[in-house]
Structure 1
Amino acid sequence: MRKIEALQILKNIIKKAYCPYSNFPVAALVEDNNGEYATGINVENASFGLTVCAERIAMFNFVVNGFKNPVRLFLYAPTEDFTPPCGACRQVLAEFNPDMEIILFNKEENFTSYKLSELLPQSFSGENLKGKQ
Protein backbone atom coordinates (compact mmCIF):
# COMPACT_ATOMS: atom_id res chain seq x y z
CA MET A 1 0.00 0.00 0.00
CA ARG A 2 1.27 3.45 -0.79
CA LYS A 3 1.85 5.77 2.13
CA ILE A 4 -0.62 8.38 0.86
CA GLU A 5 -3.36 5.73 0.61
CA ALA A 6 -2.66 4.48 4.12
CA LEU A 7 -2.68 8.03 5.47
CA GLN A 8 -6.09 8.73 3.94
CA ILE A 9 -7.53 5.58 5.53
CA LEU A 10 -6.03 6.59 8.88
CA LYS A 11 -7.35 10.15 8.66
CA ASN A 12 -10.83 8.78 7.99
CA ILE A 13 -10.90 6.29 10.85
CA ILE A 14 -9.24 8.50 13.46
CA LYS A 15 -12.57 10.30 13.73
CA LYS A 16 -13.88 7.15 15.44
CA ALA A 17 -11.23 7.19 18.20
CA TYR A 18 -12.76 7.16 21.65
CA CYS A 19 -10.46 9.36 23.71
CA PRO A 20 -12.57 11.57 26.04
CA TYR A 21 -9.89 11.59 28.76
CA SER A 22 -6.67 12.27 26.89
CA ASN A 23 -8.12 13.95 23.79
CA PHE A 24 -5.25 12.18 21.99
CA PRO A 25 -6.70 10.28 19.01
CA VAL A 26 -4.56 7.68 17.26
CA ALA A 27 -5.24 5.49 14.22
CA ALA A 28 -3.28 2.44 13.04
CA LEU A 29 -3.21 0.14 10.04
CA VAL A 30 -1.39 -3.23 9.91
CA GLU A 31 -0.62 -4.61 6.44
CA ASP A 32 0.81 -7.79 4.93
CA ASN A 33 2.74 -8.18 1.66
CA ASN A 34 -0.46 -9.02 -0.23
CA GLY A 35 -2.05 -5.68 0.60
CA GLU A 36 -4.45 -7.19 3.13
CA TYR A 37 -4.86 -4.91 6.12
CA ALA A 38 -6.74 -4.24 9.31
CA THR A 39 -7.23 -0.98 11.16
CA GLY A 40 -7.65 0.22 14.71
CA ILE A 41 -8.24 3.34 16.75
CA ASN A 42 -7.55 3.95 20.42
CA VAL A 43 -10.39 3.23 22.83
CA GLU A 44 -10.03 4.75 26.29
CA ASN A 45 -11.70 3.75 29.52
CA ALA A 46 -12.31 5.67 32.75
CA SER A 47 -10.24 2.94 34.40
CA PHE A 48 -7.15 4.02 32.48
CA GLY A 49 -5.41 0.63 32.62
CA LEU A 50 -8.22 -0.83 30.52
CA THR A 51 -7.56 1.55 27.63
CA VAL A 52 -6.49 -0.19 24.42
CA CYS A 53 -4.18 1.50 21.92
CA ALA A 54 -4.87 1.75 18.20
CA GLU A 55 -1.87 -0.42 17.33
CA ARG A 56 -3.07 -3.36 19.40
CA ILE A 57 -6.62 -3.08 18.11
CA ALA A 58 -5.30 -3.05 14.53
CA MET A 59 -3.07 -6.08 15.19
CA PHE A 60 -5.88 -7.99 16.89
CA ASN A 61 -8.24 -7.16 13.99
CA PHE A 62 -5.55 -8.38 11.59
CA VAL A 63 -5.51 -11.74 13.39
CA VAL A 64 -9.32 -11.91 13.69
CA ASN A 65 -9.59 -11.43 9.92
CA GLY A 66 -7.31 -14.42 9.36
CA PHE A 67 -4.43 -12.44 7.92
CA LYS A 68 -0.89 -13.64 8.52
CA ASN A 69 2.61 -12.22 8.33
CA PRO A 70 2.24 -8.50 9.00
CA VAL A 71 5.06 -6.54 7.42
CA ARG A 72 4.24 -2.93 8.24
CA LEU A 73 2.29 -0.75 10.60
CA PHE A 74 1.15 2.73 9.61
CA LEU A 75 0.42 5.00 12.57
CA TYR A 76 -1.16 8.46 12.57
CA ALA A 77 -1.53 10.94 15.41
CA PRO A 78 -2.38 14.60 14.66
CA THR A 79 0.66 15.92 16.52
CA GLU A 80 3.64 18.03 15.53
CA ASP A 81 6.12 15.33 16.48
CA PHE A 82 5.96 11.71 15.39
CA THR A 83 4.20 9.45 17.89
CA PRO A 84 5.73 5.97 18.12
CA PRO A 85 3.96 2.94 19.60
CA CYS A 86 4.06 2.58 23.37
CA GLY A 87 6.05 -0.23 24.96
CA ALA A 88 3.06 -2.56 25.35
CA CYS A 89 2.17 -2.16 21.68
CA ARG A 90 5.77 -2.75 20.62
CA GLN A 91 5.77 -6.03 22.54
CA VAL A 92 2.46 -7.15 20.99
CA LEU A 93 3.65 -6.28 17.48
CA ALA A 94 6.96 -8.10 18.06
CA GLU A 95 5.01 -11.30 18.73
CA PHE A 96 4.00 -11.29 15.06
CA ASN A 97 7.05 -9.75 13.35
CA PRO A 98 9.97 -8.26 15.29
CA ASP A 99 11.30 -6.68 12.08
CA MET A 100 8.01 -5.08 11.04
CA GLU A 101 8.35 -1.67 9.40
CA ILE A 102 6.75 1.10 11.49
CA ILE A 103 5.70 4.18 9.49
CA LEU A 104 4.69 7.21 11.56
CA PHE A 105 2.70 10.18 10.22
CA ASN A 106 2.29 13.54 11.95
CA LYS A 107 -0.36 16.22 11.48
CA GLU A 108 1.61 17.87 8.65
CA GLU A 109 1.40 14.51 6.81
CA ASN A 110 5.15 14.04 7.02
CA PHE A 111 6.42 10.58 7.81
CA THR A 112 9.36 8.71 9.23
CA SER A 113 9.96 4.99 9.51
CA TYR A 114 11.73 2.49 11.73
CA LYS A 115 12.14 -1.23 12.04
CA LEU A 116 10.31 -2.51 15.11
CA SER A 117 13.55 -4.16 16.21
CA GLU A 118 15.09 -0.66 16.41
CA LEU A 119 12.28 0.49 18.71
CA LEU A 120 12.28 -2.70 20.79
CA PRO A 121 15.67 -4.40 20.78
CA GLN A 122 15.91 -7.72 22.62
CA SER A 123 12.13 -8.22 22.75
CA PHE A 124 10.65 -11.04 24.81
CA SER A 125 9.43 -13.90 22.60
CA GLY A 126 8.25 -17.48 22.64
CA GLU A 127 11.91 -18.51 22.42
CA ASN A 128 12.35 -17.19 25.97
CA LEU A 129 9.74 -19.70 27.18
CA LYS A 130 11.32 -22.85 25.72
CA GLY A 131 12.55 -25.24 28.38
CA LYS A 132 11.30 -23.06 31.22
CA GLN A 133 8.40 -25.26 32.33
Structure 2
Amino acid sequence: MSVSALSVSALSDSQIEDLITQSLAARENSYSPYSKFRVGAALRTTDGKVFQGCNVENASYGGAICAERTAFVKAVSEGHRRFVAIAVSCDFNSFITPCGICRQFMNEFGKSLEIFFVNDDRTYKRAILEDLLPFAFGPEDLPDNSEKQKA
Protein backbone atom coordinates (compact mmCIF):
# COMPACT_ATOMS: atom_id res chain seq x y z
CA MET A 1 0.00 0.00 0.00
CA SER A 2 1.77 3.11 -1.17
CA VAL A 3 1.24 6.60 0.15
CA SER A 4 3.72 7.91 -2.40
CA ALA A 5 3.27 8.74 -6.04
CA LEU A 6 6.05 6.23 -6.73
CA SER A 7 4.46 2.89 -7.38
CA VAL A 8 7.49 0.61 -7.22
CA SER A 9 9.98 0.22 -4.42
CA ALA A 10 13.71 0.35 -5.11
CA LEU A 11 14.00 -2.70 -2.86
CA SER A 12 13.18 -6.32 -3.63
CA ASP A 13 10.43 -8.07 -1.69
CA SER A 14 13.04 -9.97 0.33
CA GLN A 15 14.88 -6.74 1.21
CA ILE A 16 11.60 -5.18 2.37
CA GLU A 17 10.82 -8.29 4.44
CA ASP A 18 14.28 -8.09 6.02
CA LEU A 19 13.75 -4.44 6.99
CA ILE A 20 10.37 -5.31 8.47
CA THR A 21 11.87 -8.18 10.49
CA GLN A 22 14.71 -6.02 11.74
CA SER A 23 12.44 -3.12 12.72
CA LEU A 24 10.22 -5.48 14.71
CA ALA A 25 13.30 -6.97 16.39
CA ALA A 26 14.70 -3.51 17.21
CA ARG A 27 11.42 -2.60 18.88
CA GLU A 28 12.14 -5.28 21.49
CA ASN A 29 15.10 -3.20 22.77
CA SER A 30 13.02 -0.06 23.31
CA TYR A 31 13.47 1.73 26.61
CA SER A 32 10.04 3.33 27.04
CA PRO A 33 9.01 3.12 30.70
CA TYR A 34 7.05 6.39 30.58
CA SER A 35 4.99 6.23 27.38
CA LYS A 36 4.93 2.44 27.01
CA PHE A 37 5.16 3.23 23.26
CA ARG A 38 7.84 0.92 21.87
CA VAL A 39 9.21 1.82 18.45
CA GLY A 40 11.77 0.00 16.30
CA ALA A 41 13.50 1.08 13.12
CA ALA A 42 15.73 -0.58 10.55
CA LEU A 43 17.72 1.65 8.17
CA ARG A 44 19.27 0.28 4.96
CA THR A 45 22.34 1.92 3.44
CA THR A 46 23.03 2.07 -0.29
CA ASP A 47 25.62 -0.69 0.15
CA GLY A 48 23.08 -3.00 1.84
CA LYS A 49 24.09 -2.68 5.50
CA VAL A 50 21.17 -2.40 7.95
CA PHE A 51 21.28 -0.43 11.21
CA GLN A 52 18.65 -0.96 13.88
CA GLY A 53 17.37 1.66 16.28
CA CYS A 54 14.81 1.87 19.06
CA ASN A 55 13.34 4.72 21.03
CA VAL A 56 15.08 5.55 24.30
CA GLU A 57 13.12 7.65 26.79
CA ASN A 58 14.40 9.75 29.66
CA ALA A 59 12.80 11.00 32.87
CA SER A 60 13.35 14.56 31.62
CA TYR A 61 11.22 13.68 28.54
CA GLY A 62 13.15 16.16 26.35
CA GLY A 63 16.19 13.90 26.51
CA ALA A 64 14.43 11.09 24.66
CA ILE A 65 15.45 9.95 21.18
CA CYS A 66 13.26 8.29 18.58
CA ALA A 67 14.02 4.96 16.93
CA GLU A 68 14.55 6.54 13.52
CA ARG A 69 17.19 8.98 14.75
CA THR A 70 18.88 6.23 16.78
CA ALA A 71 19.30 4.16 13.60
CA PHE A 72 20.65 7.15 11.66
CA VAL A 73 23.07 8.14 14.44
CA LYS A 74 24.42 4.58 14.59
CA ALA A 75 24.91 4.49 10.82
CA VAL A 76 26.48 7.93 10.54
CA SER A 77 28.79 7.24 13.48
CA GLU A 78 30.12 4.26 11.51
CA GLY A 79 30.75 6.36 8.38
CA HIS A 80 27.57 5.81 6.38
CA ARG A 81 25.88 8.78 4.73
CA ARG A 82 23.78 7.30 1.92
CA PHE A 83 20.52 5.50 2.62
CA VAL A 84 17.84 3.71 0.63
CA ALA A 85 15.03 2.95 3.06
CA ILE A 86 13.87 2.75 6.66
CA ALA A 87 11.16 0.59 8.23
CA VAL A 88 9.43 1.79 11.40
CA SER A 89 7.25 -0.35 13.68
CA CYS A 90 5.43 0.04 17.00
CA ASP A 91 3.31 -2.07 19.35
CA PHE A 92 0.01 -0.70 18.15
CA ASN A 93 -1.90 -2.15 15.25
CA SER A 94 -1.71 1.06 13.28
CA PHE A 95 0.69 2.61 10.83
CA ILE A 96 2.82 5.20 12.59
CA THR A 97 4.79 7.85 10.76
CA PRO A 98 7.99 9.56 11.89
CA CYS A 99 7.60 12.68 14.01
CA GLY A 100 8.55 16.10 12.65
CA ILE A 101 12.06 16.19 14.09
CA CYS A 102 12.79 12.72 12.65
CA ARG A 103 11.52 13.82 9.24
CA GLN A 104 13.82 16.84 9.33
CA PHE A 105 16.72 14.71 10.56
CA MET A 106 16.23 12.17 7.76
CA ASN A 107 15.94 14.96 5.18
CA GLU A 108 19.58 15.81 5.85
CA PHE A 109 20.48 12.58 4.04
CA GLY A 110 18.09 12.73 1.10
CA LYS A 111 14.53 13.49 0.17
CA SER A 112 14.06 10.23 -1.77
CA LEU A 113 14.37 7.91 1.25
CA GLU A 114 11.71 5.18 1.21
CA ILE A 115 9.83 4.80 4.48
CA PHE A 116 7.86 1.67 5.40
CA PHE A 117 5.29 2.00 8.20
CA VAL A 118 4.94 -1.51 9.68
CA ASN A 119 2.11 -3.12 11.65
CA ASP A 120 2.45 -6.05 14.05
CA ASP A 121 1.06 -8.39 11.39
CA ARG A 122 3.88 -7.29 9.03
CA THR A 123 1.59 -5.38 6.69
CA TYR A 124 2.99 -2.01 5.69
CA LYS A 125 2.41 1.26 3.95
CA ARG A 126 5.14 2.99 1.97
CA ALA A 127 6.00 6.63 1.40
CA ILE A 128 8.86 8.74 0.18
CA LEU A 129 10.29 11.26 2.65
CA GLU A 130 9.69 14.16 0.29
CA ASP A 131 5.95 13.36 0.38
CA LEU A 132 5.96 13.53 4.19
CA LEU A 133 8.03 16.72 4.37
CA PRO A 134 7.21 18.88 1.34
CA PHE A 135 9.18 22.09 0.88
CA ALA A 136 11.76 20.85 3.38
CA PHE A 137 14.72 22.97 4.40
CA GLY A 138 17.96 21.13 3.76
CA PRO A 139 21.68 21.51 3.14
CA GLU A 140 21.03 22.73 -0.39
CA ASP A 141 19.18 25.75 1.03
CA LEU A 142 22.20 27.11 2.90
CA PRO A 143 23.83 30.13 1.22
CA ASP A 144 27.37 28.72 1.22
CA ASN A 145 27.17 25.06 0.43
CA SER A 146 30.83 24.81 -0.64
CA GLU A 147 31.88 23.31 2.72
CA LYS A 148 29.09 20.71 2.77
CA GLN A 149 30.29 17.29 3.86
CA LYS A 150 30.66 14.81 1.03
CA ALA A 151 27.90 12.25 0.88
* Same fold at TM > 0.5: yes
Q: Distance in 1 between matches of 2:62 and 2:130?
A: 26
The reply on whether 1:120 has 2:117 as its aligned counterpart is no
The alignment covers a number of residue pairs equal to 131
The residue type paired with residue 120 of structure 2 is K
2:82 corresponds to: 69
Q: CA RMSD in A?
A: 1.3
Question: Out of 32, 55, 65, which is 1:42 matched to?
Answer: 55
- State how far apart, in whole Å, the 1-side matches of 2:115 and 2:141 are: 24
What is the deviation of 1:31? 0.7
Identity %: 33
SS class of match (2:107): helix
Distance in 2, Cα, partners of 1:72 & 1:65: 17
Q: Which runs of 5+ in 1 are unaligned?
A: none
Higher mean Cα deviation, 105-114 or 3-12? Answer: 3-12
Instruction: Name the structure with the higher helix share.
Output: 1
SS at match of 2:80: coil
Q: TM-score, normalised by structure 2?
A: 0.81
Q: Whole-Å Cα distance in 1 between the matches of residues 107 and 16 of structure 2?
A: 22
Shift of 1:124: 1.0
Please point out which of 30, 34, 55 is paired with 2:68. Answer: 55
